Amino acid sequence: MEEVQKKEKFHHPKGLWLACIGMAGSSYLKYAVSGITIFFYTYSVAMGGLGLSDKQAGLIISIAGAFGSVLPLLGSIITDRFLGMQKAMIMAFFLQSVAYAIFFFFTPHVPMIIVGIVINMCSMAFMNNNLTAIVGMLYSNKEHARKDAAYGIFYMAVNIGSFFGPIFGGLLTDHWMAVKDAEGNIVKYGYKYAYLMVAIGMFIVFLIFLVLIPKWLGEVGKHPANAKGANKEEKQKVEFKFSPVEKTRLVGMGIIFILVTVYWTVYFQTSYTINTLANDYVNLNVGGFHVPVVWLISFNGILCIILAPLLGNLWMTLSQKKLDPPVSLKMAVGMIITGLAFYIILIGFNTLHGVLDKTVKMDLWYMLVAYTVLTVGELLVSPVGMALFNKLTPERFSSLAMSVWYLTYTFSGIASGYLVAVTKVWGYGKILNILGAALLISGVVMLVIMPFIEKLIAVDKLSSEETATETAE
């Protein structure tokens, strides 16, 4: 009997592994090109880029980032009313394959690249929100620890992709497909070949989902949420009514949403502002080998792969002993820790003593220590927050809830575009101070209002509510 209970507690359904395959593949391919985006946009055509100005590149990044975060809300509504999660995910992978194929075939023609960006944004309206929501649908709300552990595994899959993506993307762009002069200096980067790899990879993931979804997900997410029930009209009337407890939770989720938006706005500067800083002012030569700057993202990925299951097991163990810390405490500490990472980079940058002609470089270890600290903070915010939003949201809004979670990324794209344009004016010192301070303040605010947030979200009542629902049915 004890063995059966243990199996039920720690065994996960096949659907989780399918979602992990999808997210690992998506993440691998996304991170293979996300770190090179700013360079692809701004380097000259002769160097393998598009030849855009910093201002033009910043505008594209801002618009794409904003729409890429907002469109999943529309995608979730379409998913819940017409498609169902399974069809939505299959369609998303196919569209993204098409989008990146356009990048490869039409570089450096900017108008066609913009067409590719638009198709890519449409694909993202149906991808991450549904992949994330489907994980939560595999578990009941009584399984708090299992669901947290599942999202920990899911987040580890994200980072398996983010580890390998920049490695192979960097090798393609800076070594295998790069054109070099007689002295070994890069004269043309192989950026478009990274996009070809992504297009092929996305098509492979599309085929995997096409074959495995019926077997590994079965009925989970197969039909549109609104298609359930005999009387559709009546279902839609009830659908948007919230109980008093649900309304209170929405207020709590709204507060968390604001603070997490600040978090991601700062965090994602690692792909743009911090990447540019590292490319210009960090000594990336190790034993005669030039480390592609995007490998810093890979370092973050491998740390997540190592630490995510450890933290997942820690939450399970603490839960069994009734010692699991409140969600808002985890997230507050995560924000503060991530803020400290930006100050570590600032300390390294200050070792340049104002010499910004690129003749002096800061040591790589400053970046490695900063990314280690940043990763710990990230793991206290992201998988925990994903699981929380899924738990607190009624099942009929699962996809929409995950879209709201990803909506927190909106301002990161806008801020990235703006900071790309103003970095030369403000300087990295000022920007690092602002980024670090924003996270420290957000973390402290969450700590102060933690009792209020915990009262609003009432996580402790979820199990009894699930039991009451099952009894009523």
* CATH code (residue 338): 1.20.1250.20
Which pLDDT tens digit goes with each residue over 449-469?
Answer: 999 999 999 887 776 766 666
Q: Is 427 part of any domain? A: yes
Of 37-51, 157-171, 422-436, the range with the highest mean pLDDT is 37-51
Q: Is 40 part of any domain? A: yes
Q: Is 5 part of any domain? A: no
Q: Is 4 part of any domain? A: no
Mean pLDDT over residues 202-222, rounded?
95
With 90 as the cut, is the pLDDT of residue 68 above it? no
pLDDT for residue 240: 57
Q: Is 473 part of any domain? A: no
Which pLDDT tens digit goes with each residue over 11-65?
Answer: 789 999 999 999 999 999 888 998 889 899 999 999 999 999 988 998 898 888 8
More confident residue, 123 or 2: 123
Number of independent structural domains in the chain: 1
CA 89 to CA 76: how far, in whole Å?
11
CA 384 to CA 196: how far, in whole Å?
34
With 90 as the cut, is the pLDDT of residue 258 above it? yes
Q: Which of 235-244, 302-311, 345-354, 399-408 has the lowest mean pLDDT?
A: 235-244
Token digits of residue 95: 């569209």
Where helices occur in 125-243 by DSSP H, the ranges are 128-137, 144-171, 191-216, 232-239
pLDDT for residue 191: 96
Place of tokens 């570590």: 344
Q: Is 234 part of any domain? A: yes
Which pLDDT tens digit goes with each residue over 282-294?
Answer: 999 998 888 898 8
Q: Is 147 part of any domain? A: yes
With 70 as the cut, is the pLDDT of residue 237 above it? no
Q: Is 3 part of any domain? A: no
CA 348 to CA 362: how far, in whole Å?
6
Domain residues for the domain of 309 are: 10-213+220-468
* Alpha-carbon dihedral sign for residues 349, 355, 356, 359: negative
pLDDT for residue 466: 64
